């Protein structure tokens, strides 16, 4: 991959893989940053990165597959973004948004409004998605979502120890 210094030191031929689930609020926020940046970015700097979308189907538990947990996101969540242009896979929607803005779309974070935008982004990304789908959650009440599929995977005796540890980490 050829690299050259741009406004944020991004790669000229940056190719990213954004792992998403279309009904995930956090995936939607990361995709929105990428779309908004590509559509409205007009500052000189690195060219628009190529972002390949990869579906991680949460309805069929693809986020618990060994390859995803061990090679993409040990949290077993979406979104995640990987690239050889990144020091490590990004596994948080806010981190993904900041990376794209700082490295490829600096017009999304103009200096004159940066602190206000960062504050609002922090608040937006702090929304707990589970609270959007659980009715009448009382304040201070932790809701647990048991995952029978995860327990099934952990009960298997034909999985690697490394995968077992990744599943335990996801469970926690």
Domain harbouring 20, CATH code: 3.40.30.10
Q: State yes or no: pLDDT of 146 exceeds 90.
A: no
Residue predicted with more confidence, 8 or 64: 64
What integer pLDDT is reported at residue 8 of this predicted model?
Answer: 43
Residue 35, in any domain of the structure: yes
Total number of domains constituting the chain: 1
What integer pLDDT is reported at residue 128 of this predicted model?
Answer: 72
CB atoms within 10 A of CB 63: 23
Residue 138, in any domain of the structure: no
Residue 158, in any domain of the structure: no
Backbone angles phi, psi at 16, to 5 degrees: -120, 150
Residue 67, in any domain of the structure: yes
Provide long-range contacts, Cβ within 8 A and 24+ apart, for 151-156: 153/64
- In terms of residue numbers, what domain contains 80? 15-127
What integer pLDDT is reported at residue 7 of this predicted model?
Answer: 38
CB atoms within 10 A of CB 100: 27
What integer pLDDT is reported at residue 10 of this predicted model?
Answer: 46
Residue 26, in any domain of the structure: yes
Residues 6+ apart with CB under 8 A from 80: 18, 19, 72, 73, 89, 90, 91
| Ordered DSSP codes for 18-40 | EEE-TT-HHHHHHHHHHHHHHHH
Residue 160, in any domain of the structure: no
Whole-model pTM: value is 0.78
Residue 68, in any domain of the structure: yes
- Distance, in Å, from the CA atom of 6 to the CA atom of 104, rounded to the nearest integer, reads 8
25-77 confidence digits (pLDDT tens): 999 999 999 998 888 765 566 567 899 999 999 989 999 999 999 999 999 99
């Amino acid at each position: 991959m050829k690299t050259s210094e741009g406004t944020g030191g991004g790669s000229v031929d940056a190719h990213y893989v954004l792992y998403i689930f279309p009904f995930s609020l956090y995936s939607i926020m990361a995709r929105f940053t990428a779309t908004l940046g590509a559509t409205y970015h007009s500052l000189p700097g690195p060219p628009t990165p190529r972002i390949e979308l990869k579906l991680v189907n949460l309805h069929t538990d693809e986020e618990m597959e060994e390859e995803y947990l061990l090679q993409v996101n040990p949290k077993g969540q979406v979104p995640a973004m990987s690239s050889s242009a990144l020091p490590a896979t990004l596994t948080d929607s806010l981190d993904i948004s900041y990376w794209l803005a700082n490295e490829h779309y600096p017009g999304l974070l103009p200096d004159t409004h940066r602190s206000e935008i960062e504050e609002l982004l922090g608040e937006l990304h702090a929304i707990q998605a589970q609270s959007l789908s659980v009715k009448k959650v009382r304040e201070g009440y932790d809701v647990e979502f048991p995952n029978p599929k995860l327990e099934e995977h952990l009960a298997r005796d034909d999985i690697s120890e490394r995968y077992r540890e990744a599943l335990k980490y996801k469970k926690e």
